[in-house]
Structure 1
Amino acid sequence: MTWLVTGGAGYIGAHVVRALRDAGLAPVVLDDLSSGHAAFVPEGVPFVRASLLDAEAVAAALTDHDVTGVIHVAGFKYAGVSVQRPLHTYEQNVTGMITLLESMQRAGVEQCVFSSSAAVYGAVDVDLVTETTAKNPTSPYGESKLIGEWLLRDQEIAAGLRHTSLRYFNVVGSGDPAVRDTSPHNLFPLVFDALAEGRQPRIYGTDYPTPDGTCVRDYLHVADLALAHVAAARRLEAGEPLEPAYNLGSGDGVSVRQIMDAVASVTGIAVEPELAERRPGDPPRIVASGELAARDLGWAMRHTLAEMVDSAWEARRASA
């Protein structure tokens, strides 16, 4: 069975590609390298450099490589930036999804795992987010991911597409020192950049109603996330039932202060964060339950916070 991984040259997609290969499945990468890196694609894995908006290139990739399923990771992933660039976000994430689904239907590809986002929930006010928590996205990015899930649902009704969506929050760590998070907006790269430049990272808000006063979020190791994508693909291949969507959550979360302490412990660098005022709209706690995913996908948090930081730091140093 051959699986096309859109965005397979990116941080998350490249880990999915490796997990597919390690599971004995045949991955093919489609990526326009707008944020990915050709060097992240393992040797021997077919690589199609193309945009999802290029319908002919997508169709050719599906047919030329006899693709049987798609793991759709590609997208414009910067929630904050999406507020300033809504049209670009919708073009990349919604028009791109439509182009992909049209190409899949023409090629007879009827299986899709969608890398969605917990941003579909917005700024929730519940202790634990479940799949039935109300969807109130607060950014064009979150809205575009929710629309993507709707498109999958509607294509199931119209054309028999079999699919599932995986929702998650913050992805960190590395499963291969050759692949690291290069996003200019994610917490770990921002902290490492600050330390490398002799600056201190910043904590926004220390007076939240949490154990240490800083925001609490889900942080997931990217290799664990990749395994969940492969498990979903295997269940689709086997014709086994799947929920429309799964949360990949920790169930308890980690605070920003705990992350700073872990970075100091792992790197041996003194971390004394600058303390700043709260940012508007930041909820004190957003943590998801992973119970459904554990039941159906074998989802588990296989890495400690220290292991997440250590693997990310190793990949950062390997790229220096």
Structure 2
Amino acid sequence: MILVTGGLGMIGAHTAAALADLGEEVVITAHRRSDVPSFLAGRVIVETVDVADRDAFLALGDRYDIGGIVHLAGSIPEPDPIPYFRRDSAALFTALEAARTWGVDRFAVAGSISSYEGRGERPWTEDLALPLAVPPHPIAAFKKAVEPLTLFSLSGTGVDPVLLRIGSTWGPLMDPESPFNPVPSTVSAVLRGERPRPLPAGAGDFGYAPDSGRAIALLMTAPSLAHTAYNVSSGVPFTARQLVDALNAALPGAGIESTAPAATVEDAPYLDVTRMRTETGFEPAFDLFGAVAHYVEWRRGNAR
């Protein structure tokens, strides 16, 4: 059985669904959310547990035979980052202690593409040294710190660490007004009958949540892994112009525009996912146009 913390969040829910698709028994923890999405209903066990509650979390090991942990739970920072760091550090340490106590085979933890900020190369590969740079956001700062803490905590324990350097991810269950991705708010505006704001110029590499969840599931179920760090994203950069075209194709008549000047894909910071593809056989099921069309269809019947 595999445990997914934050299993009702966007990436967590899609990871849990992908694990179930692969025939795994899955238990998920949820703390702030209670609504189980339709694609997950009846397929996993849901435990309402705050991962930072050490005793309650460790008690899960008395009820389930857990052989792997995917730690994706996280909170939202307030203006002062210290309380956020304290909360999420407590959750990380509890999950790491559980991994060692239960003797799980594999412990995967969410990192971020932002750990590469400051590197000028394109694309970003896992063998690049992470630069000493101030991360752009407290979440990015914490996720960069997660890597050495996890490696040191699991060293010599027999638990294999998997560091997930997750690219910008979007899709079903994302906050429809999220500042981290322009697609959900644009789709929300069109579905409300409003004219959406122009998309910002630029280029990027977005992972679509169902694909990212499946990538993580494959990393958790692969018979063996040759590395500890893996980029998780589409691995394909695109421009704002291409994203606008995909949105207008899925939302005919919406008249979605982009601000100028347009960037080229050569400008885009993006993740090389060759390592993950080679070791797990992962291939995205959705290209950009397919992902946008799938998301628009989902949002016609779902609030987020």
Short-chain TM bin: 0.7 to 0.9
Q: Is 2:136 aligned against 1:138?
A: yes
Q: Is 2:103 aligned against 1:112?
A: no
Q: 2-side partners of 1:62 and 1:242: how far apart?
A: 28
Q: 1-side partners of 2:210 and 2:46: how far apart?
A: 21
Classify 1:241/1:112 alpha carbon distance in 2 versus 1 (closer, same or farther; 3 Å).
same
Poorly superposed stretches of 4+, deviation over 4 Å: none
Query: TM-score by structure 1 length?
Result: 0.83
Classify 1:138/1:3 alpha carbon distance in 2 versus 1 (closer, same or farther; 3 Å).
same
Structure 2 unmatched ranges of 5 or more:
none
CA contact (8 A) 2:199 2:244 kept: no
Q: 1:248: which partner in 2?
A: 232
One-letter code of the match for 1:50? V
Q: How does 1:260-299 map to 2 (within 5 A)?
A: 260-273=244-257, 275=259, 284-299=267-282
CA contact (8 A) 2:10 2:171 kept: no
Q: 2:177: which partner in 1?
A: 184
Q: 1:209: which partner in 2?
A: none
Distance apart, 1:158 and its partner CA: 4.4
Q: 2:290 aligns with which of 285, 288, 307?
A: 307
Distance apart, 1:154 and its partner CA: 0.5
Q: 1:230: which partner in 2?
A: 217
Distance apart, 1:169 and its partner CA: 1.6
Q: 1-side partners of 2:87 and 2:187: how far apart?
A: 29
Distance apart, 1:63 and its partner CA: 2.6
CA contact (8 A) 2:96 2:154 kept: no
Q: Deviations over 1:150-204 (max 9, x none)?
A: 1221123242321212212222345xxxxx3235323221111222341322333
CA contact (8 A) 1:7 1:72 kept: yes
CA contact (8 A) 2:3 2:70 kept: yes
- Match of 2:120, SS? coil
Q: 2:58: which partner in 1?
A: 59
Distance apart, 1:123 and its partner CA: 4.7
Q: 1-side partners of 2:186 and 2:129: how far apart?
A: 32
Q: Deviations over 1:224-256 (max 9, x none)?
A: 212221211113xx3x23311111244440112
Q: 2:121: which partner in 1?
A: 126
CA contact (8 A) 1:118 1:167 kept: yes
Q: 2-side partners of 1:183 and 1:133: how far apart?
A: 34
Q: Which is worse superposed, 300-309 or 87-96?
A: 87-96
Q: 1:216: which partner in 2?
A: 203
Classify 1:11/1:252 alpha carbon distance in 2 versus 1 (closer, same or farther; 3 Å).
closer
Classify 1:262/1:311 alpha carbon distance in 2 versus 1 (closer, same or farther; 3 Å).
same
Q: Deviations over 1:40-60 (max 9, x none)?
A: 642152111111111112111
Q: 1:159: which partner in 2?
A: 157
Q: 1:203: which partner in 2?
A: 199
Q: 2:19: which partner in 1?
A: 20
Structure 1 unmatched ranges of 5 or more:
175-179, 205-213
Q: Deviations over 1:60-98 (max 9, x none)?
A: 12331111110111113x6xxx48341243134322111
- Match of 1:116, SS? strand
CA RMSD of aligned residues (A): 2.5
The number of residue pairs the alignment matches comes to 293
One-letter code of the match for 1:108? G
- Match of 2:177, SS? coil
Q: 2-side partners of 1:95 and 1:232: how far apart?
A: 25
Distance apart, 1:276 and its partner CA: 8.0
